[in-house]
Structure 1
Amino acid sequence: MSRIEEIYYEARADLWFKRFAIFCRVALAASFIPAGYIKIIGERFAAGLPANNPLGHYFEALHLTGYYYTFIGIAQIITAIFLLIPRTSLLGALMYFPFVLNICVLTYATRFDGTRGVTMMLLASLFLLAWDYDRLKHVLPFKQSESVPPALKKPLGKRLRFVFFGGSFAVVALIIAGTFYLYEIVPGNSEAECRNQCASSKNPAACQVFCDCIYKQGKPLDTCLANFDKAKNIRISGGK
């Protein structure tokens, strides 16, 4: 057995890691229950998000898909229930991962303000899949080691906890800081939020052009970004 697998089995036996796995399962389930319920009763998800917002376009179209919208809500509720039941938690984690991966890519593509939270949800989902590696490894295209975990000769104890949880806090801090400087301009969750960023922008006039394009004209994000770049270039040329 490799050293990595030895460390894995040590983590599986550690009370801190067990509690963290439970926390991840409960937190991820809690994120899906209200989202699924809203879809089942037929209400638009993120109703406060304007239809002209890039992500609002998506939610508006999704809401109009009829029973497909309801189906997504039912699937989310089932996934949450599976996550909460220890015997079905692996199935819940397997169902949750493609959901949250799709949501994560969607939020980054639309420059949504909730990218930090969704990224953390994706990482928590990956942790739960890694947590059940001993069951998943049999379907992975890798050479299999012995199936019975051996008695660990040198437990890592507090050192393992420090490395993992210290690294986790560092990753969270990196996500928060990284996403803050990721984009030069974002549509925000409302027209007011979009225009509030213009005061501190290096190109306030171009920022206003972008917000007008999003919320007044209802054009796609890529088109508005192109207009933003064009407005910046005109200002630079005029300044020269």
Structure 2
Amino acid sequence: MSLLAWKQKVWLQLAVIYTRYLIGGAFVFASLIKLKGRRFTTLSGESAPIHSAAHFFETLYQAGPYWKFIGLGQLVAGLLLMTQRYALVGALLFLPIIANVYVITYSYDFGATTWTTGLMLLATVGLLAWDWNILRALVHQPVLPAPTSALYERRLWEAVGGVLFLYTAIYRALVDQYNALQWFAICGLVGLLGLVIAAVLHRRERRALPS
């Protein structure tokens, strides 16, 4: 089945939308602690062995401006993904960042975190594959039209992304002792509400069509 045929499947369109929310939100969540000039963990790595992960993060933290620059890159990439409208630009920016994060977690044997970052890397590659009909212009191939459903094109998804971004950014900016489960649960409820609203509007429009 061709890419253009896959892009007509509504379930896959929704999967793409919510994948952007998920990995974009994770980057926004992780970025604010760096922009605030705080350590990534509550443990200082000053006395940790030189080849340990704690020492590595302590070195990045002590770099000061570079630590905040990493956070800014994560924030911008996550925001662009969550807007949906500029998600392709966000995915292009996201790819080198998450690839670097994955190599770091693999090199320092972060255990389960390595699997998480690996899945995020695969998800980003998948998002870029989704827009290959546009990206093919980079290899001097014509852009191919790939019309999607009215459900996928709704501006509602931009609004949902905006709410998720604002909630995540404000929560992480104001709260140091965060509850990741609480954050994820509220984001999940916002995403579910958006899906319900989109489904109701879609059903009403279909009923309004002449038979």
Same fold? TM cut 0.5? yes
After TM superposition, give the deviation of residue 147 of structure 1 in Å. 3.2
Corresponding residue for residue 27 of structure 2: 32
Cα distance between partner residues in 1 of 2:143 and 2:115: 39
Q: 1:13 to 1:67 in 2, by over 3 A?
A: same
Cα distance in structure 2, aligned partners of 1:55 and 1:43: 17
Q: For 2:97 and 2:89, how far apart are their aligned partners in 1?
A: 13
SS, match of residue 30 in structure 1: helix
Q: Give 1:108's aligned residue.
A: 106
TM-score of the pair, normalised by structure 2: 0.63
Structure 2 residue 6 is the aligned partner of structure 1 residue 18: no
After superposition, give the CA deviation of every residue in 1:186-233 in whole Å (9 maximum; x if it has no partner): xxxxxxxxxxxxxxxxxxxxxxxxxxxxxxxxxxxxxxxxxxxxxxxx
Instruction: Quote the Cα distance in structure 1 between the aligned partners of 2:69 and 2:29.
Output: 15
- Hey, what's the Cα distance between the residues in 1 that align with 2:143 and 2:75? 37
| SS of corresponding position for 2:86 | helix
Shift of 1:50: 4.9
In structure 1, the partner of 2:91 is: 93
Residues paired across the two proteins, number: 143
* 1:73-104 CA distance string (max 9 Å, x none): 11211111100112210000000000010011
Structure 1: where are the runs of 5+ without partners?
1-5, 151-240
CA distance, structure 1, for counterparts of residue 143 and residue 67 of structure 2: 45
CA distance in 1, matches of 2:143, 2:134: 13
Q: Match for 1:63 among 53, 61, 64?
A: 61
Which residue type is aligned with residue 147 of structure 1? L
Distance 1:149 1:79, change over 3 A: closer
Letter in 2 for 1:86: Q
Indicate the structure (1 or 2) with the bigger Cα radius of gyration: 1
Pick one of 32, 39, 46 that aligns with 2:41.
46
Task: Say yes or no: does 1:147 pair with 2:147.
Answer: no
Give the deviation of 1:140 after TM superposition: 2.4
What CA distance in whole angstroms lies between the structure 1 residues aligned with 2:23 and 2:42?
21
- Counterpart code for 1:139: L
Q: Which amino acid in structure 2 is aligned with residue 20 of structure 1?
A: A
Percent identical: 31
Shift of the alpha carbon at 1:18? 0.5
* CA RMSD between the two structures: 2.0
- Corresponding residue for 1:130? 129
Question: 1:49–1:148: structure 2 CA closer, same or farther, 3 Å change rule?
Answer: same
**Which segments of 5 or more consecutive residues in structure 2 lack a partner in the other structure?**
148-211
Q: Taking CA–CA contacts closer than 8 Å with sequence separation of 6 or more, which of the two structures ends up with the larger relative contact order?
A: 2
Paired letter, 1:112: F
Q: How does the TM-score come out when normalised to structure 1?
A: 0.55
Q: How does 1:128-207 map to 2 (within 5 A)?
A: 128-140=127-139, 144=141, 147-148=144-145
The structural deviation recorded for 1:46 is 2.5
